[in-house]
Amino acid sequence: PETAQIAIQSALTGHLVFTTVHANNVIDVLGRFLNMGVEAYQFVSALNCVLAQRLVRTICRDCRHPVTVPEEELREAKIDPAVAAEHTFYEGGGCIECGGTGYRGRTAICELLDLSDHLRELILGRRPTSEIKQAARDAGMRFLRESAVEQVLQGRTTLHEINKVTFVA
């Protein structure tokens, strides 16, 4: 809590402060500040944006092969089957290059919350997180899951991998 206060005070006096906060997504970061005893008016004034990121394993280029994803699995992942039909899905078969895992390397998925005046007002008004999320979406924010699905559609990773990393069973 003391460190959070120091960071906020530094930001409020014109310093550019970068920090890390353990949270599942950008909206949860707001709650973490409150739990650390930072008043909403302080962190709303100090924050420009919040970035959340995770790493997903990338499919091995040496052993990747196209696969058919069942329509039910696409729907569970909230991927429109019509959109899926325009893309090729891949999995890694496992080879010497990837140590038999089918994956080699990692890539980032991320979400960025740019704090507009409207979002600041919602936070100060202690509006429900669902309302803040919707306002962020309306302002063009792309959430972690959407970033992850984009990586699948581009053939970089698998549905299984993003489900694991974005906490979908």
Give pLDDT tens digits for 70-105. Answer: 999 998 888 999 999 999 999 999 999 999 999 999
Q: H or E segment at 132?
A: helix 129-138
| C-alpha dihedral sign at 49, 139, 155, 75 | positive
Average pLDDT over residues 152-160: 96
Q: By percentage, how much of the chain surpasses pLDDT 70?
A: 98
- What confidence tens digit (pLDDT) does each residue in 37-69 have? 888 888 888 888 999 999 999 999 999 999 999
Q: Which residue has the tokens 């906060």?
A: 21
What domains, with CATH codes, occur in the chain? 2-165 (3.40.50.300)
CA distance 88 to 84: 8
pLDDT of residue 32: 87
pLDDT band at 143 (very low <50, low <70, confident <90, very high): very high
Helix (H/G/I), strand (E/B), else coil: 103: strand
Query: Residues near 25 by Cβ (< 8 Å), separated by ≥ 6?
Result: 52, 111, 143, 144
Helix (H/G/I), strand (E/B), else coil: 158: coil
2 exposed, middle or buried (CB, 10 Å; 0-12, 13-18, 19+)?
exposed
pLDDT of residue 1: 67
- What confidence tens digit (pLDDT) does each residue in 13-32 have? 888 888 888 888 999 988 88
pLDDT band at 169 (very low <50, low <70, confident <90, very high): low
**Beta partners for residue 125, in sequence order:** none
pLDDT of residue 33: 84
pLDDT of residue 168: 66
The answer to whether 159 and 76 have CB atoms below 8 angstroms apart is: no
The token pair at 10 is 């530094």
pLDDT of residue 37: 82
Closest by CA position to 24, among listed 47, 53, 44: 53
The answer to whether 64 and 28 have CB atoms below 8 angstroms apart is: no
Residue 115 pLDDT > 90, yes or no? yes
What is the pTM for the complete model shown? 0.84
